[in-house]
Copies of this chain bind each other. A is one copy, B any other.
Amino acid sequence: MESQLKIIEPVHSENECSSALTAVGDALYAIGGKWKLRVIIALREGNKRFNELQRAITGISARVLSHELKELEMNGFVKRNVNIQVPVIVEYELTEYSDTLKDVLQALREWGLMHRDKIRRER
C-alpha cells in the first residue's frame, strides 16, 4: 500500500503563495527601493553624520538621502541624534529594531556575491 499513488504537491499552494506575496510585499514596502537597505548597511559600521553617509553610499544625492533618512526614521529603523553644542552635531544611528533585518541583509549579501560571480563567469 505504501507505494501507491502519491499526490505530488506544488512547491507552494495558492494560499501559501498569496500569503508569501503579502509578506514579501510588506517587507518590500518598508525596506524596498534602491537605497534604504544601503543606508542601513552604511550605519551598521557606526553612527554617521549626513555627509559621512553620503560619502559612504556611492551615487546617492543629498535630496534623496534626506528623504530616505526621514522615511527610515518614521518607520523606526533610524534615530536622529542632535547634540546641542557648538557646532551642533547631527548623527544618525540605527535603532534596535533595525537588527531584525540581519537575516534579510545576510541573505541578500550572499546572493549578491553569488550573482556577481555568475555574471563574471558568463562574460
CB pair B108 A23 closer than 8 Å: yes
How far in angstroms is the closest Cβ of chain B from A94? 9
CB pair B111 A100 closer than 8 Å: yes
Partner of A104, one of B23, B45, B100, B107: B107
- Among the 9-residue stretches A8-16, A63-71, A85-93, the one with 4 or more Cβ atoms under 8 Å from chain B is A8-16
- Once A10-B45, A12-B45, A113-B23 are accepted as A-B contacts, the answer to whether A28 and B103 lie under 8 Å apart by CB is no
CB pair B44 A112 closer than 8 Å: no
- Residues in chain A within 8 A of chain B (CB atoms): 10-14, 16-18, 20-28, 30, 32-34, 37-38, 41-42, 44-46, 56-57, 97, 100-101, 103-116, 118
Q: List 18 A-B contacts (CB under 8 A).
A: A11-B44, A12-B44, A13-B45, A20-B109, A21-B57, A23-B109, A24-B37, A24-B41, A24-B105, A24-B112, A26-B112, A26-B115, A27-B109, A28-B108, A100-B114, A100-B115, A103-B110, A106-B107
